[in-house]
Structure 1
Amino acid sequence: MKRYFVKELIHRSIKFRGIKLIRKVALFTVLIATIGFMVACKKAPEKPPVTSKQQDINGKVVDNTDGTNIFKNLSDTIKEDIKNGGTSLKIDAKVQVPKTSKVSVVTVKPDGIDQARVDKIIDTFMKGKQLYKPNELMTKKGIQDYITLMNAYSLPNNENDEIKKSDGDPIDPVAIGGSTKARLTKQVEPGASTMYQKEAQELLSKAPESPERKAAAKTLENVDESDLKSNGKTYKGFHGKSLNVVVDSGKGYDEELYTSTSNSLKSSMARIINHDSTQVYKFHEYTGSSARGMKMSLEEVKKLAQDTLNSIGIADLKLTEINLATLMPLTKEDDPNKMNQAYGLWFTRDVAGVPTTLDLAEEKLQNDESYGYERLFMLIDDTGVIEFHWQSPAKVTGTISSDAEIKPFNDIMEVFKKQFFIRYAQSGKNNENTTYDINRITFGMMRVNVKGKEDEFTMVPVWDFFGSKTSKDGKVDHTYNSFMTINAIDGSIIDRTQGY
C-alpha cells in the first residue's frame, strides 16, 4: 500500500484524478468506521409540532412559546468524575454557547460549485495569470522535493505525524482528532525507505528540468467515470464536472486549483494550493499566542480571510475555529521549536446566530456517494492565502422554526453520562484502564438527514463533547472529533458518520 502510494506521487506520467482518490479513500474510511449507539425511542412532544413537510423532524421540533432564555443560569464550567470498571470519565469542561436566546431549525440542500463560482475563485486567486494543465511528468525539482519529504519523515520528531499532501488530492487540512485521509509515515518494511529512494533517484536522472506547459481553459469539464470493483463489490464512478489547472507562481512551484461537483451536487469541493510541496504543516489549537515568524497580526489575517470570502461571494459561512500551523522540520538541523508558523482558519455555516460546530467526522457513503459536511478552511501566512479548501456548499431552503424549544442542559448531561458508558465502557477488558477527559462542551448546529428524502437535510441544534482519550496505547486527541453528539431538541444520540 505504501509503495503504491509513493510511486503514484513520483510517477506523474500515470493519469490519476483527484476524484478517484477521494472516492477510494472515502470507501476505505467507511470500512473501518465504527457505528455508534443510537437512541430509538423518543417521548412525544407535549406541545403541538411546527407544521412542516419533514414529518420525522416536526414531530420533535416545537416553538419556544414561553420565550425562555435558553442559556440562562448555565454554568461556564462543568466538573465531575465518574468511573465504571476500567473506564474513567473526567469532566472539567468549558461550556461554549452562542450569544443568543433563540435557536432556528432550517432545511438545507447541496448547492455545489458551478462555473460562476469557479470563475470567482480564479479571479480571486489567479486573476490575470495564464492557466495551464497540470504536468503529467514531475520535474527534477518535484522529485527532489519528495526525496526531501521522505528523508524528513524518517526524523525522530516526524515519524508518527499525520500529514496532508501538498500537491496531491484534497483532504482535510487539520490532522487533529480521528483519522485523516492520507498519511506519509515511517516505513514499516525493512529497507523500504532505501528502496523508494533508489526508485526516485532513477527517475530523477530522466526527469525534465522544467515543466511542459500546455494552456488550459477555465471551463468545467464533464467527467463520467467507470465503476470501481473492489473485494467483490461494485462502487459507482463519479459523474459530474471538474477542473484542474495551475499557474506559474514565479517561486519555483505551481499554484494549483482543483474543483469538482457531482451531478447530485453532494460530492462538491474546491481547493487552492499555493506553496511548495516541501511545506508540510502540523496543526495545533490556538491558545492566544502569535504565529511565530509572521508579521501579519491575527486581526489582519481575519480581514484577509473575510475579504477572500467576500470576493468569492460566500456570505453565509462564519469564522468558527483558529489553529496555529507549524512547518515540519526537513533536516536534523531544523529546530522543531523554531519553525515558522501560519494561521489556519475554519469557517462553518451560521444559522441565525448559532454556528455549525466544527467536527472533522465524515458522513458514511450513502447510495455509493458520500456527502461531506460543509466547511471551509484557509491557511494564511505573510504571503497571503496559501491554502483554500471549500467542501459541500449548501443553501437554506426553508425554516421549520425560528425559535425552537430545546431540552434543559441538565437533561442533556444526564443523557451524556448514561450513554457514554454504554458506548465506551471497557468493563475491565484485558485489565485495560482508559481515561476520557472532556474539556469542552459546545452548543452548535449540525446537518442531519431528512427521513425518506435523499436530497433534503435539516440543520438542528446539538451538544458536542470534546477532549482526549488516554490508554496504554497513548493519548488520542479529540479536539475536533466529538465523543458524543446529542440532539438538543429531543436528547437523542446522533452518529456523525451516519448523518442522523
Structure 2
Amino acid sequence: MNKKSTCILTVLLSGAVLLGGCQETPDSVIVKPKGREAIEQYEEDESREESGEEQQGLREKLGVPERFQDEIVLEDGKVTLTTDAVIELPKAPGFSTIEVSAVPLTQDFMDRITQGLFPEGKIYSSDSYFVMTKDDCQKEINKIKAEMAQASTESEDEEEISKENLQNMLEELEAAYAEAPETAEKEEVSPLLAVDESGFESFSGVVETPEPYLYRIFEGSGDSIRVRVSHYGENEAAQPGAGWGEYQFAKDDIISQIGSEDEIKSSAGISYEEAKKIADDKISAIGVSDMDIGSWDYAVYMYRGNEGEEVQVSNTGYMFYYTRQIGSTPIIYTLSEGGGLEDMDSTIEPWTYETLKIVVSKNGLEELSYVSPYEIGKTQVENVKLLDFEEIKQIYTEMMQYKVSSQMDNEYLKEYKVTVDRITLGYTRIYSPAQDSRSGLLVPVWDFFGNSEMTLNDQEGTRDASSIPNNSLFTINAIDGTIIDRGLGY
C-alpha cells in the first residue's frame, strides 16, 4: 500500500468508527428529541408479568428473536450492510432508570485507594525518585557522542539532520549535568491531595512495595477522577515510551514476535483464572464490590522504536475491563470513552464514562486505571416500559442505511461493507452536559457491534478491514428509540 493510500484510509477509518456523515438526518417519525424533557416522559411498565425463566420472559415480552439476520445493498451495489448476530439479553425481568453522579475527588477517596493497593508501601516524590545524577547524565552524554560519530556514515542529507538533532540533545544533557547532584536522595512523602498548577487537585508519587509503582490521582475537565497505577520495572526504565496494549489491536504489528493467541497464552506464564483472581482481589481491596469483567484480552508490553524498526515485546499477560453491574445487568462496555464535544469551540465541561482497567502478568499487578467512578443514586422509574424489538429493528435498519450510505460522499471510497455481528441489551449512562455535567441517568440501550471493510477508488483498489474490539457501531435508547452518540455520551 502506498503512502497516499495509507493516509486516505486513516481519514476514512476515523469516520467509519463513528459511522457518521456530514449530511443532516433525514425526516423520519423515528427521530425524536433527547434531553431532560424526553427523560421526564419515561413510563412505568404496568403490563409486565412475572416469569420463572427471567431471560425467556424478557425475550418474549419484547419479541426478541435468538438471532437477527439481514442484508441490505445500497448505492448501486457499492454499500452493503450485513447483520448476522446472536442477540444477547441479561438475566433480568426488566430494567429501571437510575440516577447517577460523579464521585467527587476527596482525600477519603484517595486514602481508600492507597490503603487498598499499598497498605505497607513507602511513597516518594516523583521528582526525587527519578532525578538524574551526574553519573546518569555522563552515561547519556557518552551514548550521544557515540551516535554522533556513527552518523558520519549516513548520506549527506541524513547526516545533517541527524547531527543537528544529536547536537541539540548533547547540549541539553551537558546543561543537565551541570545542575545534577552527585547522588540521588529519595524524599518520602505522605499521599495527600494538593492543588496543582492547572488548578485541579492531584497527587503524584512513586510507591515501593518493594517493586516501584508510579501512582497518580487527579481530576480534570473530562474525567471527574482518574486513578493511574503502573508498575515501573527494568523494562520501563530501559525503554521510555513502552507500554501495555491489547493483543487484538496490536497483533498485526507483533505477530512475528510472539505468534498466535495460543502462543501468547503460553508465554504469559499465568492462567486466565489466576490472573482474574489477582484482578478481582485488587478491585475488592479498593472497595469496589459491584463490578465484574465486561471484556478482556491478552495484553502485550511493547516498545515501538523508530519508523521501520520491529516492535519489541518483552512481557505478556491479561487486560481486564470491569463494568458496573445493576443487579444482574451490566453497564455495557464499549471502546468509546464518552465525554466528547460536539465541536472544538464548545465550552461545555464533558464527563467520560466510568471505566476500570487492570493489567496482570505473571509478576502480578502491572497497571490499574480507574476513571470517572459513579455514585449510584435513587431509582427514577422502577420498571420502565421498553419498545418492542420490532420497533428497535425498524430504527436500526432505517438509520444505519442512512449512515453507511453517507460514507459514499467521500470521493476516495469505491466500496463500503459493514457487518454487525453482535447485539446486546444493557445499561449505559446518558447526561445533559449543558444542564449538569456531573450527573446523569442509567438507561437501557441496544448496542450493535461489528466491523467494516472499505475499498479505495484508486489504481490499486486498496482494501482495508477494520475489526475493532468492542466498537459499538450504533446505540439505541431501548425506552424511546432515540439514537445515542457513544462518543458524546448522550
TM-score normalised by L of structure 1:
0.69
* Residue in structure 2 matched with residue 89 of structure 1 by the alignment: 81
**CA deviation after TM superposition for structure 1 residue 470, in Å:** 1.6
* 1:268–1:41 distance in 2 versus 1, CA, 3 Å: farther
2:59 to 58, 67, 71: 71
**Does structure 2 conserve the Cα–Cα contact (< 8 Å) formed by 1:355 and 1:444?**
yes
The secondary structure found in structure 2 opposite 1:291 is: helix
**Does structure 2 conserve the Cα–Cα contact (< 8 Å) formed by 1:44 and 1:59?**
no
* 1:35–1:371 distance in 2 versus 1, CA, 3 Å: farther
When Rg is computed on C-alpha atoms for both structures, the one with the higher figure is: 2
The secondary structure found in structure 1 opposite 2:109 is: helix
1:402 aligns with 2:382: yes
* Residue in structure 2 matched with residue 274 of structure 1 by the alignment: 231
What are the equivalent positions in structure 2 for 1:354-393 lying under 5 Å apart? 354-361=329-336, 362-365=338-341, 367-393=347-373
2:160 and 2:333 map into 1 onto residues whose CA distance is: 40
1:98 aligns with 2:86: no
Q: Supply the RMSD in Å over aligned alpha carbons.
A: 4.1
**Does structure 2 conserve the Cα–Cα contact (< 8 Å) formed by 1:35 and 1:497?**
no
1:284 aligns with 2:264: no
**CA deviation after TM superposition for structure 1 residue 64, in Å:** 4.7
* Residue in structure 2 matched with residue 466 of structure 1 by the alignment: 449
* Residue in structure 1 matched with residue 465 of structure 2 by the alignment: 475
Superimposed CA distance per residue, residues 414-446 of structure 1 (whole angstroms, 9 cap, x where no aligned partner)? 211110122221347536211112122122211
Query: Which amino acid letter does the alignment assign opposite residue 216 of structure 1?
Result: V
**Does structure 2 conserve the Cα–Cα contact (< 8 Å) formed by 1:469 and 1:478?**
no
* Residue in structure 2 matched with residue 240 of structure 1 by the alignment: 200
**Does structure 2 conserve the Cα–Cα contact (< 8 Å) formed by 1:441 and 1:465?**
yes
* Residue in structure 1 matched with residue 42 of structure 2 by the alignment: 60
What are the equivalent positions in structure 2 for 1:207-218 lying under 5 Å apart? 211-218=184-191
* Residue in structure 1 matched with residue 107 of structure 2 by the alignment: 115
Superimposed CA distance per residue, residues 456-488 of structure 1 (whole angstroms, 9 cap, x where no aligned partner)? 310001111122222136223332332111001
* 1:78–1:44 distance in 2 versus 1, CA, 3 Å: closer
2:313 and 2:126 map into 1 onto residues whose CA distance is: 34
* Residue in structure 1 matched with residue 257 of structure 2 by the alignment: none
**CA deviation after TM superposition for structure 1 residue 395, in Å:** 1.0
**Does structure 2 conserve the Cα–Cα contact (< 8 Å) formed by 1:78 and 1:93?**
yes
2:484 and 2:125 map into 1 onto residues whose CA distance is: 43
**Does structure 2 conserve the Cα–Cα contact (< 8 Å) formed by 1:60 and 1:489?**
yes
Percent of paired sites with the same residue: 21
1:300 to 246, 269, 274: 274
Superimposed CA distance per residue, residues 253-294 of structure 1 (whole angstroms, 9 cap, x where no aligned partner)? x411111136x9962111101134235233135999573323
* 1:131–1:338 distance in 2 versus 1, CA, 3 Å: closer
* 1:201–1:255 distance in 2 versus 1, CA, 3 Å: farther
What are the equivalent positions in structure 2 for 1:302-451 lying under 5 Å apart? 302-328=276-302, 340-361=315-336, 362-365=338-341, 367-425=347-405, 426-427=407-408, 429-430=410-411, 432-450=414-432
2:162 and 2:229 map into 1 onto residues whose CA distance is: 30
* 1:452–1:258 distance in 2 versus 1, CA, 3 Å: closer
* Residue in structure 2 matched with residue 13 of structure 1 by the alignment: none
**Does structure 1 conserve the Cα–Cα contact (< 8 Å) formed by 2:42 and 2:381?**
no
1:210 and 1:83 map into 2 onto residues whose CA distance is: 70
**Does structure 2 conserve the Cα–Cα contact (< 8 Å) formed by 1:108 and 1:395?**
yes
Return 34-43 or 85-94, whichever deviates more.
34-43
Query: Which amino acid letter does the alignment assign opposite residue 78 of structure 1?
Result: F
* Residue in structure 1 matched with residue 480 of structure 2 by the alignment: 490
1:438 and 1:55 map into 2 onto residues whose CA distance is: 32
* 1:199–1:353 distance in 2 versus 1, CA, 3 Å: farther
- Stretches of structure 2 lacking an aligned partner (at least 5 in a row): 1-13, 51-56, 148-157, 250-259, 457-462
**CA deviation after TM superposition for structure 1 residue 222, in Å:** 2.2
**Does structure 1 conserve the Cα–Cα contact (< 8 Å) formed by 2:116 and 2:287?**
no
* Residue in structure 1 matched with residue 54 of structure 2 by the alignment: none
Query: Which amino acid letter does the alignment assign opposite residue 349 of structure 1?
Result: R
The secondary structure found in structure 1 opposite 2:279 is: helix
TM-score normalised by L of structure 2:
0.71
Superimposed CA distance per residue, residues 298-342 of structure 1 (whole angstroms, 9 cap, x where no aligned partner)? 12222222211111111232221111112326689x997986421
1:439 and 1:197 map into 2 onto residues whose CA distance is: 51
- Stretches of structure 1 lacking an aligned partner (at least 5 in a row): 1-28, 46-52, 152-188, 226-238
Query: Which amino acid letter does the alignment assign opposite residue 227 of structure 2?
Result: A
* Residue in structure 2 matched with residue 168 of structure 1 by the alignment: none
**CA deviation after TM superposition for structure 1 residue 63, in Å:** 2.1
* 1:113–1:291 distance in 2 versus 1, CA, 3 Å: farther
Superimposed CA distance per residue, residues 59-107 of structure 1 (whole angstroms, 9 cap, x where no aligned partner)? 0343253237222364443332211112211222232221222212101
Query: Which amino acid letter does the alignment assign opposite residue 331 of structure 2?
Result: T
